[in-house]
Every structure is written in structure tokens, then in C-alpha cells.
Structure 1
Amino acid sequence: MRLEQLEAFLAVAETGSFQHAAHKCGVTQSTISRQVQALEAKLGVPLLHRTAKVKLTLGGHCLLPHARKICQEWCSANREIHDLLAGKQPELCVAVIHSVCAYYLPPVLQRFTRDYPQVQLRVTALGSDRSLKVLRDGLVDVAIVMQNRFLTASSEMIVDPLYEESIAVLVGANHPLADFTTIPWSELLQYPQVMFKDGYGMQRLVQEQFHSLGVELNAVLELNTLDAFRGTIRQGDWVALLPESALVDAYSDPTLAVRPLEDPTLRRQVVLVTTQDRLQIPPIQYFRQLVSELVKPKANHIAS
């Protein structure tokens, strides 16, 4: 069964004439007749009494409301897709890691809401792995995350590198490690670690580094907000390995100290990820462009 067959039947039913139906549909009368005959053959029942004024059979009366509903739904779907491609998207959903959300994304959000006031912007701060999962599940349109090639290897994924940054050590101002200019791994390993929770790319990066060094990671606490990291670290002898963008507020906090690592140093790459199909949508195209232009790392505070 084809849509044009239902449209032909509906036009005849509403006009009472094959000729008028052909005029309404913009095709020949013979085309309307063939479409209706094909529909009748498919259903196995006659749909019309072909008299001077065409009337519906019992089968035609049964089909009529369903044909109307199907054609209306198709028109509605076609209109919504046209609006989507024209940039009339009702909302744009973004999943983004906390450090980017707090420090680098606000200029993007302000520009986007100014230029697309009709689009409701929804931003959720999540870990990298969780962000990529909700992107794959279709719950968000864009993810800004720490690169994970295992989760972005699909051909449908579009990955835009944004920047790379160093990983540094956050300690309390009176912590013994604060006396170092650069912290050796041998000294760092003596202290308990505070880490991001499962689902955050930083947890995976730190775990892999400790594994490569052949030492056991002593993780005493998992957190998921930057405020919680700062509050916890400033009050004890624990340490945290954090990316530079997550340490912006720590540099100006006299109760905290940030120190770079000695070799082997750690770095991470931050990327924007979306899917091929979403790049056909103008608001998503524009958001991607703004992120590329405006999300840039600040000046490097970490002394080496």
C-alpha cells in the first residue's frame, strides 16, 4: 500500500468524482483510477460505487477515517521535518563535562541564545563516558567531552578536537607536596587520591596511568563536582589529579596549591562530538561553529 493510493482514494471520496479528484491532486484522471484500483486489489474489496456520483462502499466507509488519519499524520510529519531542516528546532540538548561547562561554555551559550532565541537550550553537566552514552541514545544533540576513541569510533560520529591540556596536582596550601615546584610520582604515590566518579574520563585516565607505572591506586573518595574537590582537598592530606581547566578557581584560592607533575606528565584532549544526521540541522551547525570559535583554553597557569 502506498501513500499516493490513499491520497487518491481520499480525494475521490471527498469530491465524489474521479475528474475532480484528479484536478485536486494535480494528476490525470487515469492516474487516480489506477491508484484506487491498486488499493482495492491490495485490500481485496471494492471501495467505491462507480456511478454518476461516486459513492463509498462499506469497505470504503471503513477505510475513510483511517485514510484521513494516515494522510494527516504524514502531512504533520512532513511539516515538522521541513521545519527541523529550516532551523525551527524546539530545543537543543548538550551534555558537557563540568570544567568546560563552568569556564569555557558561557560565551557560547550567550551567543547562541541571542541568535536562536526560539530554540530552548538545555545543558547538562556529566562525565565524558556518560555524555557519549546519552548522545548515542539520542537524548542529547551534542557532547563536549574528554576524548575516548573507543566510544567515538563509530562512522556516524563526528569528532571535533577543541584543545589539549595538562593534568596537575591539587593539594592543600599546607600539604607537604605544596613545597615542591614539580611533584615526582614517587612522592605523589604516598598520599591517598580523590577521584572523579565512575563514568568520568578522568577516572579512567588516572587509573591507566597508575597501571602503567605498576603501582596500586589508593583512591579513598570519588566526587563529581569541582566545588567538592576543592572543599575536600583544602581540609586534609588527600591529593587530586585534575585537568587545568578544572583548576581555574584553585589558582586564586590561598588555601589551595596547584603543582605540575614531573615526567611522565599527563594530558587530555577535549572534543566536541555529534552525529552525521544532526549536522543537517541549522541550530546544531551553528552551535558547533560557536564552540569551535569560542571554546579555547585559557593561559597556562602551571609552572614547569
Structure 2
Amino acid sequence: MATWEGVNEFVTVAETGSFTNAARRLGVSTAQVSRQVSALEGRLATKLLYRTTRRVSVTEAGQVYYQQCRQVLDALEEAERSMTSMQGAPRGKLRITAPVTYGETTIAPLVNDFVLRHPELEVEMKLTNQKLDLVADGFDLAIRLGKLEDSSMMARRLASRSLHVCAAPSYLSAHGTPHALSELDRHNCLQGNLDYWRFQDQGKPRNIRVKGSIRCDSGRALLDAALKGIGIVQLPDYYVQQALDAGELIPLLTHYREDDDGIWAIYPHNRHLSPKVRMLLDFFTESLSQ
């Protein structure tokens, strides 16, 4: 077994770009990763990594060794997946990240249901609106909303989301109902992170700059303000659908509504999907399509 010591640590450092990120992914100390990689270099009598105070990079010899080791580790992972598939029950750790609100309202409950079915799983879930580096931070899966920007990841579309412009009846009674995009500049438009709203006009995307008395990066806070009649809001369906169905909010400018965009699961392109990740993806797809 001595010949394998340090291989996984080296591969992880090469993929994450630092000893700290590698240690985080492997669940060990940075010192242990450094010690194992140094011992591996000693056995091979070859320098695999360049180390500076700011970064770690792979040497030319290290690149060759990495490619060979990656193939071996992929083969081992495939063998493990085969055994897991034969046993039928997903087990081990799953690391998932998702946006905060959608994660709280939709993804986390589904993950909990999945764990109830497969109690041998250990799930670590991080809810954040920051787009984390899946490889560097060691995540198996991320949920992303809207248009995808990172082409280095594999993606599966799980569901769709739509943006709704709406307001409370009390606001519309006091300030009138806008029927055209040009009328928005006369209304109190509650803003999120962006100073424009997205529409589709005559089949083409169109962004309209808006302004209002409240600006907040929380969709729930903007929903509360809209329900209290403070202004008009544009939010995804998972924030406002219940209020729309109950008549607490009135849909506006529906003929300018942008086409639905996606809710995606993404994962690193250089990884074969393990059975547990594939089963979770299938469970998400089935549940969200209902």
C-alpha cells in the first residue's frame, strides 16, 4: 500500500490548486496533505509541484504523472460504482450547494426525503448565493438558477422558473395599473441586486431600468414589501406563486413576460457520475416535474 500513499493527495492538489483546498476536499489537515505529497515526491525522486507563498502549480513531470494517476483513480471509482450499483443502496458522503431561498424551500426538503429513503447517505449541504468552485471546494453537485455561465461543467436541466411582475391590490388601487413597459418609470419598483427588470418585447429580450424606494438582495424581503402595498416587484415564481394563487398579488405586464429559464444541476465534466449522485439527480428531476 505504500506505493499508493500520497497519490490521492497529489491529484487533489493538482485539481484544486492548493494544499488548503485539497485538505478541505479530503477532510484532512493541510499538513497531512503536504507531508504525503512530499513523501510521494521523495519516492519518485521527482518534483511534482512548484510551491510558492501564493500558489501551487504542477510541473511538467507532474502533469504526466497526474494524467496517469487520474486514469487509475477513475478506474477505481468506476469499480466502486459497479459494486455500489450491485448492492443497490447509495452510501457515503454527498456534498451539495444551492442558492439560499430555493435551497431552503425546495432543494433541502427533497434532499431530506432522499435521505429518508437512503439512510446510509451522509449529506453536507451549503446554501449560499455565491457561485462556489465545485472542484476546489469538493462539491459533488450544485444547483444553479437562470442562465448558465460556466461551460466547464456538465449540466442537467431539472425544471423551469418564470419571472413575474406583480403588486398588491392596495398598491394598484392607490397608484394605478401599468399596461406598458414605458409606464414603469411612474411606479415604485422594488429592486433586488440589479437596477433593471427583464422582459420580452416583440420576441426579443429587453431590459428596463427601474427605480423605487426599496432595494434589497433578499427576495423574501421584497415579497413582504410588495404584499404590504409598498410597490411593484419582479420575482421568480417560487417566491410569488402562492400569493398570486391567493389573490394577494396581481400579475402585471404578462404579455411582456420573458421566456422561462432553467433550474440546473451542474457537476464537474471530468467526473463520471457516481450512482448516488445519479440517483439524486433522477429524484430531483422526477420530483420537480410533478
Question: CA offset at residue 113 of structure 1?
Answer: 0.4
In structure 2, distance between residues paired with 1:214 and 1:105: 29
Counterpart check, 1:153 vs 2:151: yes
| Cα offset, 1:233, TM superposition | 1.7
Change (3 A) 1:241 1:92: same
1:113 aligns with 2:105: no
TM-score (norm 1): 0.55
Aligned CA-pair RMSD: 4.1
Q: How big is the shift at 1:179?
A: 6.5
Partner of 2:190: 194
- In 1, distance between residues paired with 2:102 and 2:213? 22
3-state SS, counterpart of residue 153 of structure 1: coil
Unmatched tracts of structure 2, length 5 or more: 5-41, 47-72, 85-89
**Counterparts in 2 of 1:192 and 1:137: CA distance versus 1, 3 Å:** farther
Residue 172 of structure 2 corresponds to which residue in structure 1?
A: 176
Listed as ranges, the matches of 1:91-110 within 5 Å are 91-96=94-99, 98-99=101-102, 101-102=104-105, 104-105=106-107, 108-110=110-112
User: Given residue 237 of structure 2, which amino acid in structure 1 is its aligned partner?
Assistant: E
SS of structure 1 residue aligned to 2:242: helix
CA contact (8 A) 1:93 1:140 kept: yes
Matching residue of 2:29: none
Distance 2:196 2:275 in 1: 35
Tell me the CA shift for residue 290 of structure 1. Answer: 0.8
* Alignment correspondent of 1:75: none
What secondary structure, in the 3-state scheme, does the structure 2 residue paired with 1:286 have?
Answer: helix
Identity of aligned residues (%): 12
Structure 2: how far apart are the matches of 1:192 and 1:136? 42
Work out whether residues 92 and 284 of structure 1, in 8 Å CA contact, stay in contact via their aligned partners in 2: no
**Amino acid aligned to 2:187:** Y
CA contact (8 A) 1:184 1:262 kept: no
Correspondence for 1:294 among 279, 287, 290: 287
Counterparts of 1:249 and 1:288, CA distance in 2: 26
Give SS of 2:256's match. Answer: coil
3-state secondary structure, aligned to 1:250: helix
Whichever residue aligns with residue 235 of structure 2, its letter is: L
Q: Quote how far apart the aligned CAs of 1:291 are.
A: 1.0
Number of aligned positions between the proteins: 212
**TM-aligned CA deviation for residue 294 of structure 1:** 0.9
1:114, distance to aligned residue in structure 2 (A): 1.9
Q: Aligned-pair distance for 1:160?
A: 1.1
Matched with 1:265 is 257
Match of 2:230 in 1: 237
- Shift in alpha-carbon separation, 1:143–1:221, aligned structure 2, 3 A: farther
Q: Once the 2 structures are TM-superposed, how far is the Cα of residue 108 of structure 1 from its aligned partner?
A: 2.5
The higher radius of gyration belongs to 1
Partners of 1:168 and 1:258 within 8 A in 2? no
In the alignment, is the contact (CA less than 8 A) between 1:163 and 1:270 conserved in 2? yes
Residue 186 of structure 2: SS of its match in structure 1? coil
Which residues of 2 match residues 7-26 of structure 1 at below 5 A?
none
Shift of 1:174: 0.5
Q: Is the 8 A contact 1:169 1:261 kept in 2?
A: yes
Aligned to 2:3: 3
